[in-house]
Amino acid sequence: MATTTVKTETFVGKRIRRREDPRLITGTATYVEDVQMPGMHYAVILRSPHAAARIRSIDTKQAVAAPGVVCVFTGKDIKGVGAVPCGIAMPDLRVPPHTILATDRVYFVGHPIAVVVARDRYLARDAADLIEVDYQVLPAVADPEKALAKVVKQRIVSQRLVPMAMETRGVVAEWHGADRQLNLYTSTQIPHLVRTLVAGMLGLEENRMRVIAPEVGGGFGSKLNVYAEEALTGYVSMKIQKPVKWIESRRENFTCTIHGRGHVDFYEIAAKRDGTILGIKLKLIQDVGAYHQLLTPLIPQLSVLMMPGLYNTQNIRADIVGVFTNCVPTDAYRGAGRPEATHGIERMVDMLAAELQMDPAEIRLKNFVTKDKFPYPTATGLVYDSGDYATPLKKALDLVGYHKLRQEQADARKQSKYMGIGISTYGEICAIGPSPATPAGGWESATVKIEPSGKVTIMTGACPHGQGEETTFAQIAADELGVGLDDILVLRGDTAVVQYGIGTFGSRATAVGGSALYYALQDLKAKIKKFGAMLLESEDVTLTGGKVICNKTGNSKSLQEIAGATYRALKLPPNTEPGLMATRFWEPPNFTFPFGAHIVVTDIDGETGQIKIRRYVAVDDCGNILNPLIVDGQVHGGVAQGLGQALWEQAVYDDNGQLITGELMDYAVPRSHMMPWIESHHTCTPSPVNPLGVKGVGEAGTIGCSPAVVNSVVDALSPLGVRHIDMPLTPEKIWKLLATKN
């Protein structure tokens, strides 16, 4: 018989290696591409080469007759399938209908026109090339400002970015006609929402559909969506009665998966001569793209919600203008609106400091919301839960040796060297929570089951895909139940196994999903104590170290003994059911608001425009830390993506709506050798919103990074009269700037 390990140590707060990693680094994990089935067919999608055109005709005869081809579907064949859903409702919001295949027109490069299904993916690809489409090409709009015909004088840009997950999107659909059952394997962050929405699109009963998310291979928000290809692959499988696989090519990933950011912001900031900030004004132009994906209209709203940053000002005005262009839609990408907001306000505070000839650290410390003002209601309608904003900044200043660096900078300037010191202090909205404030419900769920052998199974409605909850959730349960980590299995991502959940995004998995787990564990512990008390014939018992102990006699019953007794059920405590299982659906009363300070020291080569990051110091406050190793990894990964935006990355369309950075040869993703050493530190201000006191950290590095880098580079070049530079700060851009100033 299997035995349960009784532990004497605690796990929460320790640097425990992720339990997920062995299968990932040994190549034994299962991704969508790894799913193989007997009789598998392969789908290839023909996509529009034009950003705007009418479809005069589609001729599929040659493709249908090609070797190995089973069927070809076009827009006229799928008229019974619902439109791709947008989950946001706003007054006067325009939601153009977007079907899974184009019908009479296309409105972005990559728009799906037809799907070819064959017994071999290469035969399907060859056949797709045989489809003839007669287009009437129309003028395209790729620039949101040109779409508004506006003349601008001053602006701050958060450029379009490609989320660039290591694994592209993929779907395997398997239809069992006899059972009316559709199984859908898809690379997603939200399996239950995919089931609900895709079933609705296909007109299928939701309980006849199962969605499985295997290893996702990177999401960053790009897989927080319901895509046309998920419904299309399911539709094809239902039609041909065979399993069908579609795997996105990297080119398709560039042109058809959502992009992030895409802001053009116009800021004004008012202040007293002593540096006290009086008000902030913003006009935000959001490049929406060709249609709405699930959360497209929400992203600029998140920017406006967080535009005050950490500063104590109640005078805020913001106008959002969403502009449709002939480009792929923008939607959630790591930080989702908050990096744009932080970049804007932190650049403006630095510009204000320069205007008033104040130190940028001093002006921040002067304007922070002080720790005695929490919970703090903002002018944009939020209530910050808890904070001590000065402490991370002061810690970062001490770590970097700020005053000594300023003296070194002064000496460098005497030698015509370009050295910069950049500060970014950020706040973010995490634990995307209360249901009235979210489009899909803000709660999360957890089930904990103890088997007759005493082993523990956790089923979380969150869908972690790299955040480490297979480890941290096991740490929580191990400490609460007094068992070893190896006695605990964490399951996620299968709608046939896991009770309904909302998913993983917005740094919510631990703060909301972990809290649901915590409360389920409390319910389960109460039941364990009841059974233990019955077996010990005592009312005075304690659950500790994996045992229920009688406080009077010292006699005890192990968790394994108690579990066996609950399932055997020869005798039950009053009003108690057999077995050990508890489920909780928990909704937070508020969001959480992590914060921190990042400082970047840069040196610029005046001959080449190359930027070298000499030091990167990050001090983040995400509340209580369950696993410092995982938290540091989340910060490092976020910083890497923030550096990508600040220095290299940009999705560029030409005037015809063609993505000219559509391959890795043209889109500059940072490589490992381009990364600086990241000095990661923390302060701890627990959140009162949830029982774990956690706030979330998955997006912190991305949010705090880009303004720190840009502030540093502008600071280095400020003696030349430079006040602002838009991202990305490529060597060419800096070299040209230096050439005009020298």
Could you identify the residue written with the tokens 């064949």? 77
Q: Is residue 152 part of a domain?
A: no
Q: Please tell me whether the peptide bond between 375 and the residue prior to it is cis, using omega within 30 degrees of 0.
A: yes
Q: Is residue 202 part of a domain?
A: yes
- The percentage of residues in the chain with a pLDDT greater than 90, rounded to a whole number, is 95
Average pLDDT over residues 289-307: 97
Tell me: pLDDT of 319 over 50.
Answer: yes
Average pLDDT over residues 686-698: 98
Residues 390 and 468 placed together within one structural domain of the fold? no
Residues 276 and 201 placed together within one structural domain of the fold? no
pLDDT of 216 reads 97
Residues 700 and 719 placed together within one structural domain of the fold? yes
Tell me: pLDDT of 406 over 90.
Answer: yes
Residues 244 and 296 placed together within one structural domain of the fold? no
β-pairing verdict for 488-491 and 456-460: parallel
Residues 480 and 377 placed together within one structural domain of the fold? no
pLDDT of 8 reads 67
Q: Is residue 15 part of a domain?
A: no
pLDDT of 153 reads 38
Q: Is residue 312 part of a domain?
A: yes
Average pLDDT, the chain: 96
Q: Is residue 13 part of a domain?
A: no
The pTM score is: 0.95
Last residue of a domain, one of 586, 618, 637: 586
DSSP string, 267-313: EEEEE-TTS-EEEEEEEEEEEEESS--TTTTHHHHHHHHTTTTTB--
Q: For residue 539, give its domain range.
A: 21-28+443-586
pLDDT of 699 reads 97
Q: Is residue 534 part of a domain?
A: yes
Say if CB 89 and CB 131 are below 8 A apart.
no
Q: Is residue 8 part of a domain?
A: no
Tell me: pLDDT of 637 over 90.
Answer: yes
DSSP string, 413-476: HHTT-EEEEEEEEEE--BS---GGGSSS-S-EEEEEEE-TTS-EEEEESS--SSS-HHHHHHHH
Residues 407 and 505 placed together within one structural domain of the fold? no
pLDDT of 152 reads 30
Question: Which helix or strand (DSSP H or E) is residue 547 part of?
Answer: strand 547-550
The 10s digit of each residue's pLDDT in 82-120 is: 999 999 988 889 999 999 999 999 999 999 999 999 999
Tell me: pLDDT of 440 over 90.
Answer: no
Q: What is the amino acid identity at position 161?
A: L
The 10s digit of each residue's pLDDT in 543-563 is: 999 999 999 999 999 999 999
Burial letters for 711-739: b for 16+ Cβ neighbours within 10 Å, e otherwise? bbbbbbbeeeebeeeebbbbeeebbebbe
Last residue of a domain, one of 586, 613, 629: 586
Binned at pLDDT 50, 70 and 90, residue 143 comes out as: confident
Residues 620 and 728 placed together within one structural domain of the fold? yes
Tell me: pLDDT of 368 over 80.
Answer: yes
Residues 706 and 720 placed together within one structural domain of the fold? yes
Average pLDDT over residues 14-34: 95
CB atoms within 10 A of CB 339: 31
Question: Which helix or strand (DSSP H or E) is residue 106 part of?
Answer: strand 105-106
pLDDT of 7 reads 64
- Closest among 641, 676, 635 to 333, alpha carbons compared: 641
Q: How far is CA 715 from CA 129, 277, 420, 602, in A?
A: 53, 21, 5, 9
Residues 462 and 537 placed together within one structural domain of the fold? yes
Residues 666 and 519 placed together within one structural domain of the fold? no
Helices 628-643 and 700-717 cross at an angle (nearest 10°) of 50
Q: Is residue 12 part of a domain?
A: no
Distance (Å, whole) CA 460 – CA 445: 6
Residues 188 and 297 placed together within one structural domain of the fold? no
Backbone angles phi, psi at 192, to 5 degrees: -70, -40
Say if CB 127 and CB 58 are below 8 A apart.
no
CATH number at residue 232: 3.90.1170.50
Binned at pLDDT 50, 70 and 90, residue 151 comes out as: very low
User: What angle (nearest 5°) sits at the alpha carbon of residue 9, between those of residues 6 and 15?
Assistant: 125
Total of domains in the chain:
3
pLDDT of 150 reads 77
Question: Of the ranges 84-98, 226-240, 479-493, 600-614, which one carries the lowest mean pLDDT score?
Answer: 84-98
- Closest among 139, 177, 168 to 32, alpha carbons compared: 168
Residues 244 and 268 placed together within one structural domain of the fold? no
Say how many residues make up the chain: 742
Quick one: CA dihedral 678, 681, 686, 691, positive or negative? positive
Q: What is the amino acid identity at position 427?
A: G
CB atoms within 10 A of CB 585: 18
Q: Tokens for 202, please give them.
A: 């296909």
Last residue of a domain, one of 546, 562, 586: 586
Q: What is the amino acid identity at position 669?
A: V
First to last CA, the chain: 79
Q: Tokens for 733, please give them.
A: 């851009």
